Structure 1
Amino acid sequence: MKSLLPVLTVIGAIVALWYGAAVWLNSQWTLDQAARAGREVSLVEILADTMAQERPVLPAPHQVAEGLWQGVAGQKITSKRSLVYHGWITFSATMLGFAMGAALGILLAVGIVHDRAMDMSVMPWAIASQTVPILAIAPMVIVVLGGPPLNLPPLFAKAVIAAYLTFFPVVVGMVKGLRSPETMQLDLMRTYNASRAQTFWKLRVPASLPYLFASMKVAVAAAVVGTIVAELPSGAVAGLGARLLQGSYYGQTIQIWSALLAAATLAAGLVAIVGLIERLTLGRMGMAR
């Protein structure tokens, strides 16, 4: 219970600040409506109205929670209004992009560690690639892959954007991990007359796993962001990004915040799954942290 107290305190403070901000931002509409009607409103009336507006500037926490509940449990999962349905679309592209980006990052890291030419040429380009805003390249990727002559499905185009944000954390973490063995350990492998492949599989790879899993936690969260960004300019009708866009078109702020929390929950869940796999893997190797 003592360990939960700090967490609950922080959550309580965030909720209190959220309610305060909702009253402050939404009260202007209440005051404007009262001024047009030529009447005065009390503080109690202001508080009540700011907590129940249909299209508030900032929805109150209970409004977002209700919208999230309706989107998850209040609809059939096949309904176009269901957050489960939209979440699955985003999840599918995220997982494909994460797999592609992680595989590319690991392959590049192996090449960078074992080939000085790749280290001097590929690594600077990998770093430079992350300076390009994702919002700038997402429309171009979607047009190139989704239009003729390729005409690839939208799922693959979104996955490419997710992979773009995924590979960099993985390649940086994996390079750091593969280079983490100390000189003494490498000299010991040479003493055993170990081949380069044996040194790689028996020393470098096990040493790199903590770094790899740490980078994959960052990468999987970035993959969710990449998928949602890819859904915005593509005219997608499904996915959490499309749900955000629809909400912005019609001023449905509660829908926007519900979709945001659903995306955050999805990212947190994926990070937790990677963490669980990390504990199981490192535990079996006797490297539990």
Structure 2
Amino acid sequence: MRSFVPVLTVVTGIFAVWYLAAIWLNAPWAYDKATRSGEVLTLQTLIADTWSQDKPKLPAPHQVGIEIWETTVEKNITSKRSLIYHSWITLSATLLGFALGTGLGIALAIGIVYNRTMDMSVMPWVIASQTIPILALAPMIIVVLNAVGISGLLPKAMISMYLSFFPVVVGMVKGLRSPDAMQLDQMRTWNASPAQTFWRLRLPSSMPYLFTSLKVAMAASLVGAIVGELPTGAVAGLGARLLAGSYFGQTIQIWSALLMAAALAAALVSLVGLIQRITLKRMGMA
């Protein structure tokens, strides 16, 4: 129970600041309405108004909670207004991009560790690739793929892959190089082949590093999927909900989609963490 006290304290503080910020940001509109109608606002009516506006600058937490409830529990999951439906669209691109990014990252890491030429030539380009803003790169990827007849899920997954492969490469290279000289000398003493050294020493040693990087990659992959939905004018996905909300000034819709994305990211990262604990325990590392 004591471990939850700090968490609850932080959450309570966040909600308190959120409610106060909603009053501050939404108050000008409340005062403007009162001036035009000739009403006098008391503190109580001001708070009630700022926490119940249809299109507030900053929606109150309970407004976002109601919106999430109405678009998840009270909507059919196949409905275009269901956040579960839109989350599934984004999740599918996220998982495909994560799988592609993980595979590419591991393959590049193995090449970098075992090939001096790749280490000197590929690694700098891998680092340089992350200096390109994804918001500038995403439309280019989508346009190029559309030009060759590829559309739908794959372009969004490619953007997710672009963001997710980098932490995997860095983490896996660090992990594969983590065995010290004494351990490598011991493998050579046993006349182990490079393949045996990889499977028996380097790969097991890299697992803690790999899973740490996979958590970062999963979160980055979700961001990539959402970003990939923005320049396409998508009609489905959490990115599409954000885009539609910004078009029509529906800030409550925007915040509900943001919190749904955060919850989805937390669930995915927690799943990777669970797999990590199970895997490392079976390997005797936990």
* TM-score scaled by length of structure 2: 0.99
Contact 2:163 2:221 in 1 (8 A): yes
Match of 2:74 in 1: 74
Q: Does 1:195 align with 2:193?
A: yes
Matches for 1:1-289 after TM superposition, within 5 Å: 1-147=1-147, 150-288=148-286
What runs of 5+ residues in structure 2 fail to find an aligned partner? none
Where do 5+ consecutive residues of structure 1 fail to align?
Answer: none
Equivalent residues of 2:142, 2:151 under 8 A apart:
no
Question: Counterparts of 2:248 and 2:284 in 1: how far apart (Å)?
Answer: 54
TM-score normalised according to structure 1 size: 0.98
Contact 2:75–2:81 (8 Å) recurs in 1? yes
Q: In structure 1, the residue corresponding to 2:202 is in which secondary structure?
A: helix
Question: CA–CA distance in 2 between the matches of 1:268 and 1:44?
Answer: 37
Structure 1 residue 39: Cα displacement: 3.0
Q: Distance in 2 between matches of 1:34 and 1:27?
A: 10
2:95 maps to a residue whose letter is: M
CA distance in structure 2 between the partners assigned to 1:40 and 1:99 by the alignment: 59
Q: Percent identity?
A: 66
Cα distance in 2 between the residues matched to 1:92 and 1:146 = 19
Q: Which residue identity does 1:274 align to in structure 2? A: V
- Provide the alpha-carbon RMSD of the alignment: 0.7
Question: Residue 22 of structure 1: CA displacement?
Answer: 0.4
Aligned residue identity for 1:221: A
Q: What do residues 227-257 of structure 1 show as CA deviations (whole Å, max 9, x unaligned)?
A: 0001001111000000100011111100000
What secondary structure is seen at the aligned counterpart in 2 of 1:75? coil
Count of aligned pairs between the two proteins: 286
**Larger mean Cα displacement after TM superposition, 32-41 or 80-89:** 32-41
1:187 deviates by 0.7
Q: 2 CA distance for matches of 1:38 and 1:63?
A: 27
Letter in 1 for 2:30: T
**Cα distance in structure 2, aligned partners of 1:11 and 1:39:** 36
After superposition, the C-alpha distances for 1:3-46 in whole angstroms (9 at most, x for unaligned) are 11000000000000000000110111000111122332111110
Partner SS state of residue 267, structure 1: helix
CA contact (8 A) 1:90 1:239 kept: yes
CA distance in 2, matches of 1:138, 1:271: 24
Q: Deviations over 1:33-60 (max 9, x none)?
A: 1112233211111001011111110000
1:38-97 CA-to-partner distances (Å, cap 9, x unmatched) read 332111110010111111100000000111111111100000000000000000000000
User: 2-side partners of 1:174 and 1:71: how far apart?
Assistant: 40
Q: Is the 8 A contact 1:146 1:154 kept in 2?
A: no
Q: Secondary structure at the match of 2:48?
A: helix
Letter in structure 1 aligned against 2:47 = L
Deviations 1:136-164 (A, max 9, x none): 010011111123xx211310000000000
Moved over 3 A (4+): none
Contact 1:240 1:263 in 2 (8 A): yes
